[in-house]
């Protein structure tokens, strides 16, 4: 595909679009149960979820590795499975594990990958982007886990992708490496690359995502910006009262929970509740030790979803039951291997 073809094929609407998508495996297990979302050009969208939520199954559909059982998937305006030739040259995919030939050097690996990529960026440029230039002559088997993740990212960037799929991009990286990767991903997004991120690091999603969706048991249970998702959870105020002041003296409207002199208030209206608390403390002449007031974090929102929507595995609505009513688990009919949702 030439540059003129790409310009003529440019998508004005969402770059990634999933509409009522379902994915059912052999044996009937439905890993993805009718989800819909879209990602705009130049947006970084994080797909999060509890274990077995269906994230991997969803991303595989977007990458064109399998067709949906029902619903439609579009990437850059095309069906990524049936129109793979139109989509693949314009996307980059960073898998959880690259599986490189261990005896090749880093530079040889990138050059081999670039030889299979239309319009690939120079191998040296790709390595410089991920900070691996100084390891170009090292064999892949001698790289640390974090360096292998950087190599994964370098290969995903060789095609100068319009759409970049990142699956756990900073696993194995130290704190400095993680920050450097975040800066690179932000720069790619700022230059117009659309990014779909899956990660178990909630602080990573919080630091990078423009919007996100959280999946649970095959469905999207919440979506929006970080601020929108966390705003659905109560803020909290914590402090310690002087020993001579019992928690029962606090205004009843604050609905405080106390354990000894330690007090926690959960509230949907942080500013108003904090103002009321401080007014009470001033009028009562009470000093609040260790006062800490903050909005809910993404971690708190995520844990609340995991807790409030948790069902035992044998009650998962996606499970297949035999005639006796017993759960069939998550095994395929063909080879009885567990399905990774």
If you search the block for the tokens 């969402």, which residue do you land on?
A: 14
If you search the block for the tokens 């690179």, which residue do you land on?
A: 184
User: 273 or 323: which carries more pLDDT confidence?
Assistant: 273
**pTM of structure:** 0.81
In contact, 106 and 151? CB cutoff 8 Å: yes
Give the pLDDT score at 320.
Answer: 55
**What digits encode the pLDDT tens for the residues 83-95?**
999 999 999 999 8
**What digits encode the pLDDT tens for the residues 96-128?**
777 788 899 999 999 999 998 888 999 999 999
Give the pLDDT score at 13.
Answer: 85
Give the pLDDT score at 332.
Answer: 34
Question: Residue 300: is its pLDDT beyond 70?
Answer: yes
Give the pLDDT score at 336.
Answer: 33
Please report, for the chain, the start and end positions of each structural domain, with discontinuous segments joined by +.
Answer: 12-99+143-228, 232-296
Buried b (16+ CB within 10 A) or exposed e, 107-143: bbbbbebbeebeebbebeebbebbbbeebbeebbeeb
CA 258 to chain centre: 35
Compute φ and ψ for 138, nearest 5 degrees.
-85, 140
**What digits encode the pLDDT tens for the residues 43-71?**
999 999 988 899 999 999 999 999 999 99
**What digits encode the pLDDT tens for the residues 211-263?**
999 999 999 999 999 999 998 899 999 999 999 999 999 999 999 999 999 99
Decide the pairing of beta strands 219-224 and 163-167: unpaired
Give the pLDDT score at 324.
Answer: 42
In contact, 261 and 243? CB cutoff 8 Å: yes
Confidence at 172, pLDDT banded by 50, 70, 90: confident
Give the pLDDT score at 99.
Answer: 77
Per-residue pLDDT averaged across 28-42, rounded?
95
Give the pLDDT score at 304.
Answer: 86
Question: Residue 3: is its pLDDT beyond 50?
Answer: no
pLDDT averaged over every residue in the chain: 88
* Three-class secondary structure assignment of the chain: CCHHHHHHCCCCCCCEEEEEEEEECCCCCEEEEEEEEEECCCCEEEEEECCCCCHHHHHHHHCCCCCCCEEEEEECCECCCCCHHHHHHHEEEECCCCCCCCCCEHHHHHHHHHHCCCCCCCHHHHHHHCCCHHHCCCEHHHCCHHHHHHHHHHHHHCCCCCEEEEECCCCCCCHHHHHHHHHHHHHHHHCCCEEEEECCCHHHHHHHCCEEEEEECCEEEEEECHHHHHHCCCEEEEEECCCCCCHHHCCHHHCCEEECCEEEEEECCHHHHHHHHHHHHHHHCCCCEEEEEECCCHHHHHHHHHHHCCCCHHHCCCCCECCCCCECCCECCCCCCECCC
Question: Residue 323: is its pLDDT beyond 50?
Answer: no
Give the pLDDT score at 322.
Answer: 44
Sheet containing strand 219-224, edge to edge, reads 91-94, 163-167, 194-198, 44-49, 211-216, 219-224
Question: Residue 291: is its pLDDT beyond 70?
Answer: yes
In contact, 264 and 256? CB cutoff 8 Å: yes
**What digits encode the pLDDT tens for the residues 174-204?**
999 899 999 999 999 999 999 999 998 999 9
* 23's tokens: 């994915």
Q: Which CATH architecture has domain 12-99+143-228?
A: 3-Layer(aba) Sandwich (3.40)
Confidence at 294, pLDDT banded by 50, 70, 90: very high
Give the pLDDT score at 309.
Answer: 67
């Amino acid at each position: 595909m030439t540059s003129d073809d790409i310009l003529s094929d440019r998508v004005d609407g969402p770059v990634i679009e999933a509409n009522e998508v379902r994915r059912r495996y052999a044996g009937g297990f439905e890993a993805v149960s009718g989800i819909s979302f879209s990602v705009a050009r130049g947006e970084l969208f994080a797909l999060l979820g509890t274990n077995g939520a269906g994230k991997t199954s969803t991303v595989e559909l977007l990458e064109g590795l399998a067709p949906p059982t029902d619903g439609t998937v579009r990437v850059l305006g095309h069906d990524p499975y049936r129109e793979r030739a139109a989509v693949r040259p314009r996307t980059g995919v960073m898998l959880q594990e690259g599986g490189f030939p261990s005896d090749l050097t880093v530079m040889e690996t990138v050059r081999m990958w670039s030889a299979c990529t239309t319009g690939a960026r120079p191998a040296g440029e790709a390595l410089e982007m991920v900070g691996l230039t100084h390891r170009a002559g090292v064999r892949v088997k001698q790289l640390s886990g974090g360096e292998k993740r950087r190599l994964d990212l370098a290969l995903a960037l060789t095609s100068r992708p319009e759409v970049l799929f990142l699956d756990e991009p900073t696993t194995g990286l130290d704190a400095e490496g993680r920050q450097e990767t975040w800066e690179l991903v932000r720069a790619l997004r700022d230059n117009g690359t659309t990014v779909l991120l899956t990660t178990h690091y909630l602080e990573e999603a919080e630091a990078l995502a423009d919007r996100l969706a959280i999946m649970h048991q095959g469905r999207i249970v919440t979506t929006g910006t970080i601020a929108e998702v966390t705003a659905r959870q109560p803020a909290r105020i914590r402090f310690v009262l002087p020993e001579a002041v019992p928690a029962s003296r606090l205004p009843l409207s604050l609905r405080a929970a106390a354990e000894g002199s330690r007090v926690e208030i959960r509230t949907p209206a942080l500013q108003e509740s904090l103002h009321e608390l401080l007014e009470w403390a001033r009028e009562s002449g009470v000093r609040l030790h260790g006062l800490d007031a903050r909005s809910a974090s993404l971690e708190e929102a995520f844990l609340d979803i995991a807790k409030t929507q948790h069902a035992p595995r044998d009650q998962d609505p996606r499970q297949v039951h035999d005639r006796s009513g017993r759960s069939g688990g998550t095994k395929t009919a063909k080879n009885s291997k567990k399905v990774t949702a």
